Amino acid sequence: MAKVRVRPGTNLLLMDFYYRGQRCREQTALNDTAENRRKVQALLNRIKKEIEQGTFDYAKTFPGSNRGSQFANDAVVSNGQVSPSLPTGTKSETTTFGEFSITWRAEMAPQWRRQHRMGVDVIFKKHLQPAFGMRPLSEITKADLLTFRAAISEMPGRAGKKMSSSSINKVMCLLRQILTEAAERFSLPDIFKGIKRLKARKPDVQPFSFEQVESICNTIRADFRNYAIVRFFSGMRTGEINGLKWKYVDFERGLILVREVFSAGESEENAKNETSLRDIPMLPNVRQALEDQKRFREPGSEYVFSTKGGGPIDAHNFATRVWYPLLRFLDIEKRRPYQTRHTTATLMLASGENPEWIARLMGHANTQMLFTVYSRFVPNLTREDGRAITGVLNSRLQPATEVKNEVVKEVGLELATLSRDQLEAMVRSLSINS
């Protein structure tokens, strides 16, 4: 996320932004005034646009910066044309992998989401450039690829463990894309022929039970209750729900329009893929949650679920400050907030919903993902379209007032033994929690 900040102790403005997956901070000589903030913000907006377009030249923008040389080999594009420094038609005998990769990344960048571009940059810098950057394309062999894969398989991944098969496949997939394109342009042999993807574990699906969903929705902080309900029963991805704006909530038709995502600190007007751009029908409890949220919306905020400042919810802050503490409190096994999406699919499958309808709601191109990931949760299937899960919801989830009434009913026999002070304390407690 690009921001204008003030350097402590100097009162001078600085620019804080990300480029090529790295955080960059550049000092200005301007004092912190409203006029200077506007000037610096205008420059930062220009930088952001150039980065997105692949035209940003770090050394030219910040000629006195030490980072200029660090990014000296980055792609520079002007007026939609790759600069002469990028070899587009040179011979394979002299073109190195690193040189061609610069060209390829500049060409591909416009069709990538920002988060994906950052991921590509990280993989290239950490793995591909050190191994192949200086190698001529014509000299890279199949044996080199297999040796490289074996080497990264021994590298540490998360939590000090070895890289997973899925992570290795991501690196090799990017390498395959670059070399396949190079082979077509320079009439080189397909050295990836016969190299298959490593067998990776199926996606880790740990859906919550209906009882756990009830506990979470009834216990979570009041300002996040509507957020939790929509997450559990809409099938939206984290970036989709965090980037949801009121203009995409159609109460008249009962639809949530997925048109933007909030990812890597910024909103983008393109979703994960074409099928992710979809209209999600509101289940009754989702509609109620959104209507409640609208009544208590943050003034002036365009986001459905926002911070007190009006900005979108930060996924990391939500997870660390709200989600994981809540699971610990409820003694529920720790799992990522993304499991709410898996829960949507499994609850609907368990209710007997039509898999094709579920696939459209989830943003899948077809039902293959459902049967691959959630096969063990599939009962005998019906031809319903939202009615099965609605029936389950109506029978299981009670309004908050009914929940409180049930609590009072359960302790009714004990009320007669309570003192007046104790009764008044109980009434105050119920009022506070309502």
Cα within 13 Å of Cα(200), Cβ side: 15
Query: Do 111 and 254 reside in the same domain of the chain?
Result: no
Residue 159's pLDDT is what? Answer: 63
Task: State the CB neighbour count (10 A cutoff) for residue 253.
Answer: 9
Which residues is 259 bridged to in the sheet?
none
Query: Do 422 and 388 reside in the same domain of the chain?
Result: no
pTM of the model: 0.58
18 lies in a domain?
A: yes
Q: Which of 69, 102, 123 is the last residue of a domain?
A: 69
User: Phi and psi of 30, rounded to 5°?
Assistant: -100, 135
193 lies in a domain?
A: no
Q: Which of 69, 103, 123 is the last residue of a domain?
A: 69
- Give the CATH number of the domain where residue 387 resides: 1.10.443.10
Identify the band that residue 191 occupies on the pLDDT scale cut at 50, 70 and 90.
very high
191 lies in a domain?
A: no
Residue 149's pLDDT is what? Answer: 94
Query: Do 384 and 413 reside in the same domain of the chain?
Result: no
Query: In this structure, which amino acid lies at residue 330?
Result: L
Residue 404's pLDDT is what? Answer: 40
Each residue of 86-126: pLDDT tens digit? 444 445 566 889 888 888 888 888 777 777 888 888 899 99
**Which of 71-80, 253-262, 345-354, 380-389 shows the highest mean pLDDT?**
253-262
Query: Do 181 and 252 reside in the same domain of the chain?
Result: no
Residue 86's pLDDT is what? Answer: 40
- The sheet carrying 249-250 orders its strands as 249-250, 255-257, 279-281
Say what percent of the chain tops pLDDT 90: 30
Mean pLDDT score, 219-236: 94
Each residue of 350-393: pLDDT tens digit? 888 888 888 888 888 778 877 777 767 655 444 445 666 666 66
Residue 421's pLDDT is what? Answer: 56
* Average pLDDT of the chain to the nearest whole number: 79
Q: Please check the confidence at residue 432 and state whether its pLDDT lies above 60.
A: no
Query: Do 81 and 62 reside in the same domain of the chain?
Result: no
Q: How many angstroms separate the Cα of 311 from the Cα of each of 237, 302, 323?
A: 18, 8, 19
Mean pLDDT score, 238-258: 93
Which residues is 7 bridged to in the sheet?
12
Query: Do 261 and 290 reside in the same domain of the chain?
Result: yes
Query: In this structure, which amino acid lies at residue 410?
Result: E
220 lies in a domain?
A: yes
356 lies in a domain?
A: yes
d(CA 219, CA 334): 16
Query: Do 166 and 101 reside in the same domain of the chain?
Result: yes
Lowest model confidence (mean pLDDT) among 198-212, 222-236, 402-416: 402-416
Residue 277's pLDDT is what? Answer: 85
Query: Do 240 and 389 reside in the same domain of the chain?
Result: yes
Question: Which of 211 and 382 is assigned the larger pLDDT?
Answer: 211
Closest to 344 in 3D by CA, of 282, 300, 263, 301: 282
Query: Do 180 and 215 reside in the same domain of the chain?
Result: no
Q: Which of 69, 88, 106 is the last residue of a domain?
A: 69
Domain that holds residue 160: 77-186
Question: Which of 430 and 8 is assigned the larger pLDDT?
Answer: 8
Residue 431's pLDDT is what? Answer: 40
118 lies in a domain?
A: yes
Domain count, the chain: 4
Query: Do 108 and 229 reside in the same domain of the chain?
Result: no
Each residue of 4-41: pLDDT tens digit? 888 877 888 888 887 765 778 888 888 888 888 888 88
Mean pLDDT score, 335-350: 90
Residue 50's pLDDT is what? Answer: 79
Answer for the pair 72, 44: CB distance below 8 angstroms, yes or no. Answer: no
196 lies in a domain?
A: no
Q: Please check the confidence at residue 339 and state whether its pLDDT lies above 90.
A: yes
243 CA to centre of own chain: 10
Q: Please check the confidence at residue 264 and state whether its pLDDT lies above 60.
A: yes
201 lies in a domain?
A: no
**Secondary structure letter of residue 198 according to DSSP:** P
Question: Which of 397 and 63 is assigned the larger pLDDT?
Answer: 63
Cα within 13 Å of Cα(46), Cβ side: 9
Residue 59's pLDDT is what? Answer: 83
Mean pLDDT score, 161-187: 90
Query: Do 172 and 214 reside in the same domain of the chain?
Result: no
Residue 402's pLDDT is what? Answer: 45
Query: Do 53 and 90 reside in the same domain of the chain?
Result: no
Identify the band that residue 414 occupies on the pLDDT scale cut at 50, 70 and 90.
very low
